[in-house]
Amino acid sequence: MNVGFIGLGAMGAAMVRNLLAKGVTVTVWNRSRAIVDALAAEGAKPAATLDEVFAADIVLSMLAHDQAVREALIDSGALARARKGLVHVNHATISAGLAVELAALHAELGLGYVAAPVFGRPPVALAGGLNVLAAGPDDAVAKARPVLDLLAAKVWPLGEDPVRANALKLAGNFMIVSAIESMGEAVALGEAYGVPAPELLDMLTSTLFNAPIHKIYGGMIAERRYSPPGFTAELGLKDVRLVLDAAEAKGLSMPQADLAEASLEMLLGGEDKDLDLAALAEVARARVEGR
């Protein structure tokens, strides 16, 4: 099977490298050329145009945000020119509104569409250990499943409505941000009573909160290790805003998401913007300490 892959940021590149290591033929495209050339040196087929990618048997995309998805796939005409019956798997974390639009557009064009956002950082993607959410028409999911299984520790089927996968992804990312916020506040409380952050987080993430998110981000917070980023605070802010937009569309209020948005805006208002999402904990610590 020849897989096309669009969007080669940290996550996309790691996913491609995992597929290449498993013997999959992957044709790759990215707006910036350097990573295309790097992956070509590792065995990928470089594509000069999006149309070359859409000549593959199945196309995966991992783009940063709504605008990138719209520009690369819709405004370029690439989807409109794709052959009927092709399956496109969209791994991007996108707005609920765009998710609805993409599902309708693919159906109109006679293309299979699977929304398949993922949970996991780049090292997990490289190892094929992602949790992949998969929603879309049964036949499209069935065609995508062999590739998704190569990327995933587990594929979570979520029915035929692609929007369900995007909604679950936004909910999950909101919980990640909330976990980082709570760890930052807990560290400030512990330190005020003489318990250092590494000691507090080692104990709590080994017992009550022995989950990957708490352990991974807790280790970064304990060491105050926020660069280079695995998942940037800028992307975290984008996702929190998508959560708030999705909530507003359903008449919901999410106070913790409001707090997270304000905190991330404060974090990114400084000189150093190339920080991991874990740096949100520093804003939480400062708030608790009254700084």
Tell me which residues are annotated as active site: 169
The one-letter code for the residue type at 238 is K
230: its two tokens = 């695995």
Going across the sheet that includes 58-61, the strands are 45-46, 25-29, 2-6, 58-61, 87-90, 112-115
Q: How far apart are CA 136 and CA 157, in angstroms?
A: 9
Using DSSP, state whether 10 is helix, strand or coil.
helix
Q: How far apart are CA 10 and CA 12, in angstroms?
A: 6
Q: How far apart are CA 73 and CA 70, in angstroms?
A: 6
Spatial contact of 81 and 59, defined as CB atoms under 8 Å apart: no
The one-letter code for the residue type at 115 is A
Consecutive H or E run containing 261? helix 255-268
